[in-house]
Amino acid sequence: MGLAVVMTRAQMGMEAPLIRVEVNVLRGVPAFQIIGMPETTVREAKDRVRTAIMNSGIDFPVAKITVNLSPAELPKQGARYDLAIALGILAASDEFDEAALAGLECFGELALDGAVRSIQGTLPALLACQKAGHLALIPALNEGEAGLLREPSAYLVSSLIAAVRHMKKYAALPLAEPAELAYSPVYAGDMADVHGQSMAKRALLIAAAGAHHVLFVGPPGTGKTMLAQRLAGLMPPLAESEALEVAAIDSLSGAPFTPERWRLRPFRSPHHSCSAPALVGGGSVPQPGEITRAHHGILFLDELTETPRHVLDSLREPMESGRVCISRAKHHAVFPARFQLVCALNPSPCGSFDGDIRSSRATPDQILNYLNKVSGPFLDRIDLQVDVPRQPDALRDAQQPSNTDSDKSTTKCNDGSSAILRAKVAAAQAVQRERQGCLNHHLSPPQLKEVARLTQDDHDFLVAAMETLKLSHRAYHRTLRVARTIADIEQMEQIQRSHLMEAMSYRALDVLLNQLREY
């Protein structure tokens, strides 16, 4: 009978702080208690651990057992500590030598028959474990996440008895081997399939090149959702480090890792009835929300005016900072949220408004009240506001069949195809990363002042345009970033007047709101 220490890790947002499971087994009145700020699921480990040990054919010590989870000030929740507690009890009761646990971190939930079940948040814990230079003992069901590590550092265990045999050096557990990961693009539709809407396609090209937020404004059925779904096809695949961050977020959310989605950018499209905690994250124990699930990817919000205003306003801070801080009485967590926002809305509650008041069945006041469901500060954070009108001519042209194979080939490989646009995006992003180390949307004001210099005449023109549209200083900087991206697409070092004019043309909703207020 004695003391044993087993290492494991807690889950605090994206962090995985080290936890020491200190187990003391003494002769005396039989008892089993867990201390160190355990939540309900951790306290229930007493029954799971006792039954799992007995059903594994191992004698459970008849003694006074005290388990301390240190540091005690960190709250612990979940069943991830079961395996560490069980091994600590067996080591303290001399079932095997405690030295076998040196440099080893243990994770896993125990079933009553002794099987080791999978846990959430395995990948963040493994990354922290590897950084500390330790080996890990993880459930075999979490092999897919362990395979993302390029250096084998995790043993796979399927049962408690297998873990004990490994500690006794009777039968070594297998190491998780690095998985073969290859980028496999998923076809999400070609931009050439969208007929007409040349301005919206151009805006998507700019958005993809500079990571800008986009808002599509237009009546139902004009292709807003179709355009949004094709944005991912214009963007380059995730870098290895970015893909690892996305996989870690999926691990925290309980989503199974699939090698087929390696380096694919997330595309999240929550329903407009989504609550604020579901969107930004929350809960008594903070969990990642949709904006974190869209990290390094796209968050598409359709029917923007139907989403509650306070839900949309909860995005304002993450859109600026690229992260979300969630504070609760006992928990504080920070999640990454560097997403690209794509929104769509109808400009009128009747759905028939097409830029002309006479085309709408609603009055100007009704339209203005409808659009005012989206707050001005939220709209101010969107770089590109694009009009997506009805285009009957494009529909008529779409019905014209191609006469020859060469016509089909030309149509498929024209300047509007996703392949051509993706090459332009890659070239523009390469220029930006070489010049400033980030994409234009993430430029700080001092960086923007350095890379987006204007002549005095062009600066006066931009200021006059901002005053005419009654735009904020934030909109001034966002317009400059868009103009810088347009210049990068055209491989031009200096921003020209034409770039500023095009950037100003993507303020469709601001123009519409001003017209309605003056009507």
Angle between helices 508-518 and 456-469 (to 10 degrees): 50
- Please tell me the predicted confidence (pLDDT) of residue 311: 95
First to last CA, the chain: 86
**Which region, left, alpha or beta, applies to residue 369 given φ > 0 means left and ψ of -120 to 50 means alpha?**
alpha
- Please tell me the predicted confidence (pLDDT) of residue 407: 42
- Please tell me the predicted confidence (pLDDT) of residue 397: 66
Judge if pTM exceeds 0.85: yes
Measured CA to CA in angstroms, residue 466 lies from 212, 479, 515 at distances of 19, 9, 15
Measured CA to CA in angstroms, residue 457 lies from 332, 463, 464, 481, 500 at distances of 49, 10, 11, 18, 12
Q: Which CATH superfamily does the domain covering 191-392+412-518 fall into?
A: P-loop containing nucleotide triphosphate hydrolases (3.40.50.300)
Confidence of residue 189 (pLDDT cuts 50, 70, 90): confident
- Please tell me the predicted confidence (pLDDT) of residue 181: 85
Torsion of CA 37, 41, 42, 47, to 10 degrees: 140
Residue 517 three-state SS:
helix
Measured CA to CA in angstroms, residue 156 lies from 109, 120, 143, 267, 480 at distances of 13, 15, 7, 32, 52
- Please tell me the predicted confidence (pLDDT) of residue 412: 35
At 457, list the tokens. Answer: 């005449």
- Please tell me the predicted confidence (pLDDT) of residue 410: 34
**Which region, left, alpha or beta, applies to residue 324 given φ > 0 means left and ψ of -120 to 50 means alpha?**
beta
- Please tell me the predicted confidence (pLDDT) of residue 9: 97
- pLDDT tens-digit map of 34-46: 999 999 999 999 9
Q: Count other Cβ atoms within 10 Å, centred on residue 387.
A: 22
DSSP bridge partners of 332: 327
- Please tell me the predicted confidence (pLDDT) of residue 196: 86
Task: For 51-62, give the DSSP string.
Answer: HHHHHTT-PPP-
Cis peptide before 71 (omega within 30 of 0): yes
Q: Which CATH number fits domain 3-167: 3.30.360.10, 3.40.50.1970, 3.30.230.10, 3.30.390.50?
A: 3.30.230.10
Confidence of residue 15 (pLDDT cuts 50, 70, 90): very high
β 298-301/340-345 pair status? parallel
Most confident of 59-73, 183-197, 275-289, 340-354: 59-73
Angle between helices 456-469 and 473-489 (to 10 degrees): 130
The Cα 319–Cα 312 span in angstroms is 11
pLDDT more than 70, % of the chain: 94
Q: Count other Cβ atoms within 10 Å, centred on residue 135.
A: 16
Confidence of residue 414 (pLDDT cuts 50, 70, 90): very low
Confidence of residue 399 (pLDDT cuts 50, 70, 90): low
- Please tell me the predicted confidence (pLDDT) of residue 190: 87
Instruction: Determine the average pLDDT of the residues in 90-94.
Output: 95
Higher pLDDT, 208 or 13: 208
- Per domain, the residue ranges of the chain are 3-167, 191-392+412-518
Alpha-helical segments (H) within 169-314: 198-210, 224-229, 240-253, 276-280, 290-293, 309-313
**Which region, left, alpha or beta, applies to residue 231 given φ > 0 means left and ψ of -120 to 50 means alpha?**
alpha
The Cα 252–Cα 128 span in angstroms is 14
Question: What mean pLDDT value characterizes the chain?
Answer: 90
DSSP state of 404: S
DSSP state of 271: -
- Please tell me the predicted confidence (pLDDT) of residue 404: 43
Phi, psi of 108 (to 5 degrees): 150, 145
At 482, list the tokens. Answer: 């868009």
